[in-house]
A and B are shown apart, each in its own frame.
Chain A
Amino acid sequence: MSLKKRRFKYLGESLIEGNIKITATFAIVVVFLIFIFIMRESLPIFFNGEVRQEITFGKLFKGTAWQPVSDNPRFSLWPIILGSLKVTLIALFFAVPVAIGAALYSSEFAGRRLKEFIKPAVELLAGIPSVVLGFFALMVMASFLKNIFGWEIRLNAVNAGIALGFAVIPSIYSLAEDAINAVPRSFREAALGLGASPWQTAVKVVLPAALPGVSAAVLFGMGRAVGETMVVLMAAGNAPLFSFNPLNSTRTMTATIAAELGEVVFGSGHYHALFFIGLVLFLVTFVINMTSWALFDGLMSKLYGSKK
């Protein structure tokens, strides 16, 4: 028998391979095109003379007021950048301990049955549409928190942050749990064999060993929080105030785009400013993702040695 290839033997395989290649390329191309589109719509701020009479790059970072539709429109991004930052940090402050605690509990301490309950239950939380979470935060949680803590303003950054926390808990939990589960059993055995208690084993050995994955999970959650729109649109009070007080109403970059893009005059300075916000968001998430990778690699080589 000859070793020569039969003519159509691998036809099926090469068809499938080609298909996968096309799909993958398509996904990348779409993301790239979106980026190009946002660039194109925000660049007039730099280059188009007509637009520049209304708005320039400098104006976006001058002052502290975002008042795009007043007689004397002002386009400072600071209040909404600050708003995004505030709400994101509050969300992480609330979500990170809960998610990592739950992940550690379900992989290290919970019995098999309980574990089989916790994981789907938390992941079910991910299935709640963000508009429902926002609605809950707006109608129920805000009044509840206001009554308990005696807040003056019902809808504020803390309220939105907590609601946003609920939205990102499942993502952080899920990734952190995977990272913790991936810690080899031999580490746990070694620690227990040395007379560490289960709690010490979990906190001093398993969690540090999973740190690269867990911190990547946190940053992933941060990316989600920065980009989440509906919850903050509904629960934060939507006033673009330049205030560091978390109990004031606030507005995020995402909510600004969502709230204003529908009614903006096409091609106006305001229109291009909104796209510029989109560009900033794009860059912020990009930087967060990059940091997450760098952190993961850095921690990996610190913990596991640079040999591998």
Chain B
Amino acid sequence: MQTGTDRLEIKGFNLYYHRTKALEDISMTIPEKRVTAIIGPSGCGKSTLLRSINRMNEMIDGVKVEGQILLDGEDIYQKDIDVVELRRKVGMVFQRPNPFPKSIFENVAFGVRMGDNVPAKEKLEEVVERSLKEAAIWDEVKDRLHRSAMELSGGQQQRVCIARALAVEPEVILMDEPASALDPIATAKIEELIFRLKEKYTIVIVTHNMQQAARVSGFTAFLMLGKLVEFGPTEKMMTNPASKLTEEYITGRFG
């Protein structure tokens, strides 16, 4: 399978929490406009790796990194990188839906408003509508855009959060177990959505759900104890993994 152009590359990446090594020598290339799943047992560092791609780990005390993560050939861990700009390019959706206690409209418009050039009202309305449509939630919320987003159901909230991330037109979207707090129907909707979004965006998704990885992703990385065990096309990983560990994990012998 062709991997397309590779705009996101992780090179010899280590991460420490104080003295504990959480990620060890991770190197992988994340293909553009594909869905890449990161799987692995709890505590293997998959969320940590995901959060390293937009430097969200910096909020935690005692985190230290080595190695490089390249976005369009630029190392995002260089000293003079503008983290705010980086995060506009690399958006994020979290495990639990976390809309702001604001109206649906304000939630989606938030990222755009925080930018340097805030567009006029009509343009902003366009952006909000487009993003909500892209996130497949427009029809459900179009009549209540100015009501609090907290009133929506969990699945709806999560799609609003996805719309919110899409509104700033990122290149990459990181998703940290985006459906793990949702019921099966809401999960199916999110998965469908992810499947469609890959036409426009590079998506990296952390999941503990093997079937989900198989359903939505083109590539899969298997992490264990902070090390990358195997990385390749999902189909191959699921049917004919190169590593014995991967095989044992996906067949459910541990994890």
Contact = CB atoms under 8 A, between A and B. Distances in A.
A194 B150 contact: no
A302 B106 CA distance: 13
B111 A196 contact: yes
A302 B111 contact: no
B150 A304 contact: yes
Given A194-B114, A194-B168, A189 B59 contact: yes
Q: State the 3 A-B residue pairs at the shortest beta-carbon distance, nearest first.
A: A195-B88, A305-B151, A194-B111
11 contacts: A187-B101, A189-B59, A190-B92, A194-B88, A204-B110, A205-B100, A209-B100, A303-B150, A304-B148, A304-B150, A305-B151
Given A187-B98, A307-B151, A193 B56 contact: yes
A190 B150 contact: no
A111 to B, nearest CB: 9
Contacts of B61: 112
B150 A307 contact: yes
Interface of B: 54, 56, 59, 61, 84-85, 87-88, 91-92, 94, 96, 98-102, 110-111, 113-115, 147-151, 161, 164-165, 168
A304 B150 CA distance: 5
B147 A190 contact: no
Contact of A208 (B99, B101, B114): B101
Nearest to A306: B151
Contacts of A194: 87-88, 91-92, 110-111, 114, 164-165, 168
Contacts of B87: 192-195
A307 B85 CA distance: 36
Contact of A305 (B94, B113, B148): B148
A193 B151 contact: no
Contacts of B148: 302-305
B30 to A, nearest CB: 18
Contacts of A267: none
A186 interface: yes
A120 interface: no
A208 B106 CA distance: 12
A197 interface: yes
Given A187-B98, A307-B150, A308-B150, 19 more contacts: A184-B98, A186-B98, A187-B100, A187-B101, A188-B59, A190-B92, A190-B99, A190-B161, A191-B114, A192-B56, A193-B91, A194-B164, A195-B84, A195-B85, A195-B111, A205-B100, A302-B148, A303-B101, A305-B149
Interface in A203-251: 204-205, 208-209
A307 B150 CA distance: 8
A209 B85 CA distance: 24
Contacts of B165: 193-194
Nearest to B151: A305
Interface string A285-308: 000000000000000001111111
B168 A190 contact: no
Nearest to B55: A192
A48 interface: no
Interface string A111-143: 010000000000000000000000000000000
A190 B59 contact: no
A284 to B, nearest CB: 31
A308 B165 CA distance: 26
Contacts of A147: none
Contacts of B92: 189-190, 193-194
A215 B88 CA distance: 32
Contacts of A302: 148
A186 B176 CA distance: 12
Contact of B98 (A190, A195, A304, A307): A190
Contacts of B161: 190
A14 interface: no
Contacts of A307: 150-151
A184 B96 CA distance: 12
Contacts of B168: 194-195
Contact of B100 (A191, A192, A197, A306): A191
A307 B87 CA distance: 32
A268 interface: no
A192 B150 contact: no
Interface in A154-209: 184, 186-197, 200, 204-205, 208-209
Contacts of B164: 190, 194
Nearest to A186: B98
A109 to B, nearest CB: 13
A208 B150 CA distance: 14
Nearest to B90: A193
A195 B96 contact: no
Nearest to A198: B84
B64 to A, nearest CB: 17
